[in-house]
Amino acid sequence: MRTSTDVHQFLSTYPFGFLFDHHTEAVCVMDPLGNLCYVNPSATHWFGIHNNEWSLTHFQDRIVPDEIETFPYYFKRAVLGESSEFEITVHNESNQEVELLVKAVPLELDGQTVGVTIYMRDITALKKKEAEALHSSRELCKSFIEHNRDPIMLLDLEFTIVFANSAFSRLLGWSKSSLEGFHILQCPSIPPNLVKQMSDYFQHVIAFEKPAHAEDAARLELLDTIRITDAGQEYQMILSITPIYDASGHICNWAVHLRNNTDKMVLEKQLEQLLFEQQLNTELEKIEHLQTVSHLAASISHEVRNPLTVTRGFIQLLRDPALSQGKKLMYIDLSLKELDRAEHIISDYLTFAKPSMESDVSLNVNKELDYIIQVIHPFASMRNIALHIKKANQELHIWGDRQKLHQALINLMKNGIEAIEGNGDLMITLQVIDGNITIIIEDTGNGMDQEQLQSLGTPFFTTKEKGTGLGTMVAFSLIRAMQGEIDVKSECGKGTRFTISFPPLS
């Protein structure tokens, strides 16, 4: 075992200069007691101290007060055989602070630590550059948060609000002074009944602050919540909490990000309401269609009874043995025609009554009007109402659903017939007005006053004793669905005129 004197003498005579004199880094060699045995020219230049002047004590005097214990700690670890690398701040010859990257390496001889080699690299410029980059990054981050359109708050590791951006104040009204310095769960924008929700979510996020797997990250779902303004107004919000890491990979802050979801929620509710109304209108159309079918059924049965009665009379006459062959043939021919008329009436009724798939096609309005008149004619005849038809001399086509057009026009014609007390007239005209294909339905019924006219087409408004008002509403809806327009004029005691216009098929 060598004595400390032998070790110091060995180190003082060892040719370290051959190894380190031209080394760009500052290098010195010390014995286990901290006495300086060698200093290379770079170290002499940095600190202005020569071999015979420098010791561990002298070096410690150069260390800034906050790090005074750092060098002795790592020096002792090196004496015990453990290499270490650390950063330290010292004063140079000009008393300026210098950042050093220091490496303390044990110097062994025959298995015994006989000294410590100290390598020192000036990293002041590097540290300054890193500090500038970090400052720039922080300013960029702060600018991003401050100018973000969404409310954002920064929390420290104690979950205290240290920063709230301007968007938070703009949307929710709370000033920075009423937010910063408070624990996140004391934030005044959190409704009292949702503090527990926020607490549970926050604990959930902390539990997965650094997910090891993608499936863990997926569990950090967003939070649908509510925040209140300083005036008490509620906003639907989507909230997320994100950890912010420093350069060493440790969490240094938490970011609370809020996004106003109120408009989206309102739109979703409006969409739900619109879908509900569409479904309701579809059901009302079906109900009104069935109601119209049931009303027409009575008139159809009356209309069918006439040809059947005539046919029955002819068949009874055919039983007369004195009847001539010519008469028999004439009666048979008349009977077949009456049966054909009955079949035609039933066929038209069934075509209208049966449900059909929705399909928009090109419609020849003249032909469709012929069909509609055949359907409504028995109903008009049963009530002693004369139909007057005036059609265009040319083929007119529109784009729409055949069944819906039938239902809408039959409803309006049926309403016109029912509005007439006793004998009367229903005029139906097809013509082109201002480039549009126009159907005019005019009756000589009781008419309506201005107040009734304004309510026409609204649910459950009716001028009939047992009406529901749904038929007219559905008719208006069906016509508008085919890009049609409706104009209604009426006068009490004189009747009502419906003008229905469709754009022509290009």
The per-residue pLDDT for 174 is 85
Per residue in 205-256, pLDDT (tens digit) is 877 655 444 444 445 568 888 888 888 888 888 888 888 887 777 888 888 8
- Please, what is the Cα angle at 313 between 305 and 322, to 5 degrees? 170
Every domain range in the chain assigned CATH 3.30.565.10: 288-502
Structure-token pair, residue 144: 């991003």
Within a 10 A sphere around the Cβ of 228, how many other Cβ atoms?
18
Q: Which CATH number fits domain 288-502: 3.20.10.10, 3.30.565.10, 3.40.50.300, 3.40.50.720?
A: 3.30.565.10
Per the CB < 8 A criterion, the answer to whether 94 and 101 are in contact is no
| pLDDT over 90 at 314, yes or no | no
Every domain range in the chain assigned CATH 3.30.450.20: 4-122, 149-260
Strand partners, 102: 86, 120
The per-residue pLDDT for 447 is 87
Q: Mention the CATH class of domain 4-122.
A: alpha beta
Per residue in 148-197, pLDDT (tens digit) is 888 888 888 888 998 888 888 888 888 888 888 889 898 888 999 999 98
Per the CB < 8 A criterion, the answer to whether 180 and 283 are in contact is no
What percent of the chain clears pLDDT 90, i.e. is strictly above it? 15
Per residue in 445-465, pLDDT (tens digit) is 888 888 887 777 655 455 655
The per-residue pLDDT for 365 is 93
From its phi and psi, is residue 143 left (phi > 0), alpha (psi between -120 and 50) or beta?
alpha
Q: Who has greater pLDDT, 7 or 204?
A: 204
**Distance from C-alpha of 453 to C-alpha of 298, rounded to nearest angstrom:** 29
Structure-token pair, residue 137: 């990054």
Question: Cα 322 vs. chain centroid, distance in angstroms?
Answer: 88
Q: Which CATH number fits domain 149-260: 3.40.50.720, 3.30.450.20, 3.40.228.10, 3.40.50.360?
A: 3.30.450.20
Beta strand pairing call for 26-30 and 112-122: antiparallel
Per residue in 373-419, pLDDT (tens digit) is 887 887 788 788 899 999 888 889 999 888 788 878 888 898 888 88
Per residue in 79-106, pLDDT (tens digit) is 999 999 999 888 777 778 888 899 999 9
